[in-house]
Structure 1
């Protein structure tokens, strides 16, 4: 989720894949340079942001998310390099196809929730920093590069909700198997 936290609205939701394996490499930089990290979101790759408003996510929506996730296989990936968007430093997942398939599946089910509100073509990535200070992004990239690659296993898609002050994990939907979503827990 690369939007600035000042633009987050209470009740906004997103679907993310948490990447705890990346925290030792990017955590300090994310805390300094990524508004989403400061608002409570751990290292992640966004599947879809924004998703539906929290007020309309009901039992049926959760069941549909669980079924959709269960049809997608869990997968392994590596982050071997950094990439850039204007004002953004990120880690690029390899492969990125599983994330693209997840996004396509969710948007196929909920076309009223296009990625980034239809502003940007989705490119799977793990945001390290989003600031106008390119020098700070250069410094972060120079520090992170020697600590790559980072390997990770993605086994769930998580629903996160913005409370108005912080992001909280609302539910987790396992990939590649059926089952009830795990119950909410704080992200922090």
Structure 2
């Protein structure tokens, strides 16, 4: 979850993500430098929504509502063939981006008090962060290194609820699509 300094969380927080284990080998060398979410257990992923609700607001009804939202979306194949950039950040761009955006929009429609990234950005740009907090030379090097490892292809069949307890991310629940 780009821009997330997990070490500063005071209240247990949560996020909804699509994990992409197929990308781990390709991006492992770059993800952990200096992304604190990697060190605290967050796997390679595309963020559906962060921040979501504080963990103490997630009860059985909330879990059932998340499951209902996710069931309305069909599983799909995602391909990561190209890199993209935000200032100081290199990411893999998933295709179809619209399928990830639809998941985000559906969750925000259900929980409008949880805008993506706290409302910091006007546009939803699905991405799998590779490197952040680096200079352009480092990002160029990471992008060149990845070219021989692409494409990464995954089947998106679920969305995971991840919670951060102040030191570690852990999966609390997984919700099947379709």
Q: Tell me the CA shift for residue 149 of structure 1.
A: 0.8
1:158 aligns with 2:160: yes
Count of aligned pairs: 176
Change over 3 Å in CA distance of 1:8–1:128 after alignment to 2:
farther
Kindly indicate whether the alpha-carbon contact (under 8 Å) linking 1:19 and 1:44 is maintained by their aligned counterparts in 2: yes
Question: Which residue of 137, 140, 151 maps to 1:138?
Answer: 140
- Counterpart position of 2:46: 45
The Cα RMSD (Å) is 1.2
- Counterpart position of 2:26: 25
1:13 aligns with 2:14: yes
Kindly indicate whether the alpha-carbon contact (under 8 Å) linking 1:115 and 1:122 is maintained by their aligned counterparts in 2: yes
Alignment of 1:112-151 (within 5 A): 112-120=113-121, 121-151=123-153
Kindly indicate whether the alpha-carbon contact (under 8 Å) linking 1:20 and 1:42 is maintained by their aligned counterparts in 2: yes
Kindly indicate whether the alpha-carbon contact (under 8 Å) linking 2:161 and 2:172 is maintained by their aligned counterparts in 1: yes
- Counterpart position of 1:71: 72
For 2:69, what is the secondary structure of its paired residue?
A: helix
Kindly indicate whether the alpha-carbon contact (under 8 Å) linking 2:13 and 2:52 is maintained by their aligned counterparts in 1: yes
Kindly indicate whether the alpha-carbon contact (under 8 Å) linking 2:8 and 2:166 is maintained by their aligned counterparts in 1: no
Kindly indicate whether the alpha-carbon contact (under 8 Å) linking 1:34 and 1:128 is maintained by their aligned counterparts in 2: no
The runs of at least 4 consecutive aligned structure 1 residues that moved more than 6 Å come to: none
Describe the superposition over 1:20-48 as per-residue Cα deviations: whole angstroms up to 9, x where unpaired: 01111001211224222122111000000
Q: Tell me the CA shift for residue 7 of structure 1.
A: 4.1
Change over 3 Å in CA distance of 1:2–1:8 after alignment to 2:
farther
Structure 2, unaligned runs of 5 or more? none
CA distance in 1, matches of 2:137, 2:9: 26
- Counterpart position of 2:175: 173
Describe the superposition over 1:100-150 as per-residue Cα deviations: whole angstroms up to 9, x where unpaired: 100010000000000010011320000001114332222111101221111
